[in-house]
Amino acid sequence: MTAIPASARIHPSAVIEDGAVIGENVSIGPFCHIGPKVVLGEGAELLSHVVVTGKTVIGKNSRMFPNAVIGGEPQSIHHNGEETTLTIGDNCTMREGVTINCGTVEGGGHTVVGDNNLFLANSHVAHDCQLGSNIILSNNVMLAGHVKIEDRAILGGGSAVHQFTRIGRQAFIGGLSACSYDVIPYGMLNGNPGLLGGLNVVGMTRAGVDRATIHRVRKAYKALFDEEGAIREKAAAIRDEFADCPQAMEILDFIAAESDRALSSPFRGKS
């Protein structure tokens, strides 16, 4: 029998299966369904008609709006019903119709979402995605499987991200963009196919990056993308010059890292 703390507020029409763990001050509204392996952290709120299923852990003070389905089985033809997981951090908001799936065995078995994320209506996070914190997915954003998104990235409405793609910290993906290749930290990508269009200077400024540092990062960007040659070779060649600039080094490290996808560029969509 599931133990429900006295501080929890549960609507009588909600279904909570035996085995679920309900934290203090949780609020579960009408016609919600909580599966037997779900853990809801302290202060979590489910407004109404929310399904939380699978082996899913949701952190403190997260909010789920009507028709969100959290922890569903992965939409993968390779999934054969194995038990995999979904972990969502604290203070996340999942608006109407949001879907977030558990992982697959082939992908490591874990979908992970950090803290303070905002997922707007009908956005989708597929199996085995790894998301950081303070990310915004606007309405109808679609993440395919195995996508990795670093902290403070923003994805505009209707954008779609190809499987195994990486999106760097504080990158910005424009609305309706097709993101088929990795996007560097602080990069801006727009269009279909998505092309790199410079740096997210507005986001950097809002995050407190000073003007001198932004100019340094712009210089590194130009050295990488305004000259002929292989991006990774150019990134290796300028490391010493930008060793004193953490933001530029973050871009260079991102480029040097192993990836299943090519790099987005301002020219043909990849490098």
- Ordered by start, the domain boundaries in the chain are 9-146, 205-256
Q: What is the mean pLDDT of the chain?
A: 97
pLDDT computed for residue 184 by the predictor:
98
Question: Is residue 49 among the annotated active site residues?
Answer: no
Q: At what angle do helices 246-256 and 211-225 cross, to 10 degrees?
A: 30
Q: What is the mean pLDDT of residues 201-227?
A: 96
Q: What is the mean pLDDT of residues 254-268?
A: 94
Catalytic residue among 59, 71, 145, 174: 145
Question: Is residue 127 among the annotated active site residues?
Answer: yes
pLDDT tens track for 73-128 = 999 999 999 999 999 999 999 999 999 999 999 999 999 999 999 999 999 999 99
Catalytic residue among 90, 115, 128, 151: 128
**Architecture label for domain 9-146:** 3 Solenoid (2.160)
Of the listed ranges 36-50, 58-72, 87-101, 220-234, the least confidently predicted one is 220-234
Catalytic residue among 127, 132, 187, 269: 127
pLDDT tens track for 2-29 = 889 999 999 999 999 999 999 999 999 9
Question: Is residue 81 among the annotated active site residues?
Answer: no
Give the model's confidence band at 271: pLDDT under 50 very low, under 70 low, under 90 confident, else very high: low
pLDDT computed for residue 147 by the predictor:
98
Q: In the beta sheet, which residues pair with residue 161?
A: 143, 179
